[in-house]
Amino acid sequence: MSVNQSGGTAVHIKGLTKSFGSTTALDNLDLDVPVGQMLVVLGLSGSGKSTLLRSLNGLVPPSAGQVEVLGCDVVAARGKELRELRHHVGFIFQQFGLVGRVTVLENVLSGALGRIRFPRFGVLAYPKRLRLEAMENLERVGLGEKAFQRADTLSGGQQQRVAIARTLMQRPVMVLADEPVASLDPESSASVMNLLLRICQEDHLTVISSLHQVELALGWADRMVGLRDGKIVLDTPASETNQATLMEIYRRGVGEVEPASMTVNSAPKVLVAPGLVGPA
Ligand SMILES: Nc1ncnc2c1ncn2[C@@H]1O[C@H](COP(=O)(O)OP(=O)(O)O)[C@@H](O)[C@H]1O
Ligand SMILES: [Mg+2]
């Protein structure tokens, strides 16, 4: 599959619906994402964020609708074509997905498995050029000195940085991140999002990240899309919104309890960690 970003569109979604039995996870969704955009998808748990992200690399086959990513018709794509798409699209998970008992460097190297012919076990089984590239990517996420430590000895924030370095080994043109900082403390969350933003800007990557921390999204995104019950209920440039407006998308029926972290402050308050806005 050759990456086709012609027309400047990275993602084109039309009428996307996904049902799981009687649950409609995505409901007739339309969304276009231009190349190079940093898009944050906001929404309560169960609003369809993961299903949307997973639809973009073919992990979730839609019930109806069109999904095109980097010029690939994801709905029609099979086998080799899907593997190639996933090679161009990095995926960052909430739970990092590292192999804890092997070294940080080997975890990073495993990101290059799509670029080499045979599975490799152990750092020395990889060609030297890839080992050097993996070290460079580790330096890029600020963890060069941790290369030979077991991955499970690192903090959560450090592990997510390793996962970012691993994704860079794919040389992706697009990154999908599904609540990448949901299991981190606020300080680590800000620093991981800041790092992701800087790298993606430097490499001109298109990024779609789900988040449920509104304050992080405000410091990070070009554009925000709010999901509720599988529908887009908000689509706005980040520069034209504020926390109070964004909190509206979390409001549910009267009488339902909102999670404590998502209550609306009386005065809009934007919490942006130092250095979070713009390239460092
Ligand atoms: N594999 C699945 N089987 C059945 N229901 C699912 C599955 N995946 C997601 N759902 C349902 O689809 C809805 C959207 O889920 P999800 O996309 O995971 O939301 P979010 O990521 O915003 O929390 C939820 O109601 C969820 O229970
Ligand atoms: Mg989810």
Tell me what the mean pLDDT of segment 64-70 comes to.
Answer: 97
- 55-59, 72-76, 107-111, 250-254: which has the minimum mean pLDDT? 250-254
The number of domains in the chain is 1
DSSP symbols for 67-133: EEETTEETTT--HHHHHHHHHHEEEE-TT----TTSBHHHHHHGGGGGGSSS---SGGGS-HHHHHH
The pLDDT assigned to 250 comes to: 66
User: Which ligand is located closest to the Cα atom of residue 44?
Assistant: 1
Asked if the structure places residue 207 within a domain, the reply is: yes
Asked whether the predicted pLDDT for residue 271 surpasses 50, the reply is: no
Asked if the structure places residue 19 within a domain, the reply is: yes
Residue 189 CA, ligand 1 centroid: distance in Å = 24
Asked if the structure places residue 68 within a domain, the reply is: yes
Asked if the structure places residue 202 within a domain, the reply is: yes
* Band of residue 1 on the pLDDT scale cut at 50, 70, 90: low
The pLDDT assigned to 260 comes to: 39
Which CATH number do you get for residue 41? Answer: 3.40.50.300
Asked if the structure places residue 117 within a domain, the reply is: no
Question: Which residue range(s) make up the domain with 82?
Answer: 6-95+173-262
The pLDDT assigned to 265 comes to: 35
Which of 17, 50, 51 most suits a substitution to test ligand 1, by most atoms within 8 Å of the C-beta? Answer: 51
Burial (CB < 10 A; 0-12, 13-18, 19+), residue 193, is buried
Asked if the structure places residue 162 within a domain, the reply is: no
Asked if the structure places residue 165 within a domain, the reply is: no
Tell me what the mean pLDDT of segment 171-195 comes to.
Answer: 94
Asked if the structure places residue 17 within a domain, the reply is: yes
